[in-house]
Amino acid sequence: MAVAHRQAAAALLVSICLAASPTGASCLGRREQEPEQRAAAGLVTVPLSKHYVPVTRDNRTVMYKTAYFGTIRVGLPRPQEFTVVFDTGSGHLFVPSSKCQSQSCVGHARYERSLSGSAVDLDHDGAEVDTSAEERDQVAIAYGTGEIVGEFAREVVCIGSRSSENVSPVSAGAHCTSARVILATEMTPEPFQAFHFDGVLGLGLAGLALEPEFSFFGQMTANGMQPRFGVFLSKSDSVPSEISFGGHDASRMSSKLRWAPVSQPELGYWQLKVGRIWVGDQPIGLCEDGGCVAIADTGTSLLGAPRQITEHLHWLLARKVEDIDSRPGGQVDCRTFPGPDIVFELGEVNVTVGAEEYSRPAGLRVITKATNETQFICRASLLPVDELPSLGPKVWILGEPVLSKYYTAYDWAQHRVGFALARHPPQDPESEKQPAAPTHAVIGAPPRELPEPTVVYI
């Protein structure tokens, strides 16, 4: 009976799609003739909210990590709404399940199986299981410092226009596809309890997914969507960041896209071969043999560097502020203080990261005990990256410092990443004081005042 109900729901979805498309094209995605000329109005664009997560040392906030997330809907006929990070560094979609009773889950929207007529319960190999089964196959997936454990289901997942309770997402203009979803029955407190978003939607290439059907974007392209998406990370909290599916948004670019080919796409990462890396006029010797790779990762808020070289990089990027006592409050916003550029040679594309992107806002005050002499140092904020089994010890992560400076496009079919300087609207300090636009939210924004410098005695 349950199987028959699911088959009926699937048939209903197909009939809705055909009815919604007078040309006969599937509503799960429409093919375009020229993706390069696709108008921004034809994209499926999801505005992204921003969450600042404080990082504390000795009971004081020293910096903030950031996460960008948008809304998806899961299930029919009553779509359930979730906020997810659109993560190019992972390959699966997970949302919390109502079966999860821990504090990490109850603070988030949870998927209720009984509300969905389109769900199909699955084992790990894709075989259907009865909804009354007491034991289910599960999977454990690691995300940075945390882990989730979950069960498998095939569901309808929608992005785009929001629908009311009485209107199908398809009829409301959303773009939907059937995909395998992981329903989390366990989520570790670190980091998920602190996050405002509910789950993660992986946008890595097919190699990062257990099976092709787990890849949301792979399923969207199989149903006719143009195999490309673009990411804009806004530098202003008053302007929403965005992810656009089915092409890229030229209105967010101030230069043409330049493409770098993905290296070893079978691994699933949007990883690029690094020729050389320069800090100012000094090359980084670690990459001279061609062994470095750089991964474009929308789920990372810092610039990641191989752990073996981070200390050296900190020395190269540190800047002494000579006239600090003459500045208001004896401080300076280090993001505005000049420093050397970091230049990544990615094939025929050079990506440059400046002090504005990589610097911590607050400096370091170094006091010499013997002489009471004070030095004020501006420093970089770097993420040490440990050796990864499939990628080796020379992995760089192109996180938010790169992705806020450049609009990035991800070509699923041709396995390449495009970079164009992002077009940011002029920043108006007064506009930053206004409430966020209704299309997005800003959670936990830090005070406008600079944090106090860290003081070190030597």
Which residues are part of the catalytic machinery?
87, 297
Q: Is the peptide bond before 77 cis (omega within 30 degrees of 0)?
A: yes
Number of H helices, E strands in the chain: 8, 28
Burial of 62 (0-12, 13-18, 19+ CB in 10 A): middle
Q: Which two tokens stand for residue 277?
A: 């890396």
Question: Distances in Å between the alpha carbon of 393 and those of 105, 145, 388?
Answer: 34, 19, 6
> 45 burial class (0-12, 13-18, 19+ CB within 10 angstroms)?
buried
What is the C-alpha to C-alpha distance for residues 404 and 303, in angstroms, rounded to an integer?
11
Closest CA to 400 of 90, 85, 65: 65
The torsion defined by the Cα of 51, 55, 61 and 62, in degrees rounded to 10, comes to -110
Per the document, the length of the chain is 458
In this structure, how many other beta carbons lie within 10 angstroms of the beta carbon of residue 92?
26
- Between CA 190 and CA 59 the distance in angstroms is 18
